[in-house]
Amino acid sequence: TQLLEQSPQFLSIQEGENLTVYCNSSSVFSSLQWYRQEPGEGPVLLVTVVTGGEVKKLKRLTFQFGDARKDSSLHITAAQPGDTGLYLCAGFLTTDSWGKLQFGAGTQVVVTP
């Protein structure tokens, strides 16, 4: 059982549509990160959120950290084929050191032209 549950597991949309990916846990995290992984490559960091309620924007991507620091969401506006990839949320438990990043199982996003 993973500490971070991501939903949905798979998302297929048309170019121009919006999408939201969710990351939930019953545990409290000191910070949470989102990564994107493309085929044949390692995950690449997109953002780190630290404060409960924090919202960060990265071009068409909007990241939110829940008030209680137990959940997060990633919203993509007007998705493009280049947004295709495996989106992973990951967090540091408040009880763990900076060394143990807990990963969710990921959401596979496919954006078709």
Partner 1 sequence: DAGVIQSPRHEVTEMGQEVTLRCKPISGHDYLFWYRQTMMRGLELLIYFNNNVPIDDSGMPEDRFSAKMPNASFSTLKIQPSEPRDSAVYFCASTRGGFYGYTFGSGTRLTVV
In the complex, the residues that contact partner 1 under the rule CB under 8 A are 2, 31, 33, 35, 40-45, 48, 50, 88, 92, 97-101, 103-106
- Closest Cα partner for 5 from 29, 22, 30? 22
Q: How far is the CB of 40 from partner 1 (least distance, A)?
A: 7
Q: Could you tell me if 65 and 75 are in contact, meaning their C-beta atoms sit under 8 angstroms apart?
A: no
Q: How far is the CB of 69 from partner 1 (least distance, A)?
A: 14
> Tokens standing for 105?
């199982």
Rounded CA separation 8/52 (Å): 23
Q: Which is nearer to partner 1, 17 or 41 (CB)?
A: 41
Whose Cβ is closer to partner 1: residue 26's or residue 97's?
A: 97
23 phi, psi to nearest 5 deg: -135, 115
Q: Give least dist CB 12 to partner 1, A.
A: 18
Nearer of residues 6 and 79 to partner 1, judged by Cβ: 6
Q: Are 30 and 54 in contact (CB under 8 A)?
A: no
Query: Residue 76 or residue 92: which is nearer to partner 1 going by CB?
Result: 92
Q: How many CA atoms lie within 13 A of 32 on its CB side?
A: 32
**Least CB distance from residue 29 to partner 1, whole Å?**
11
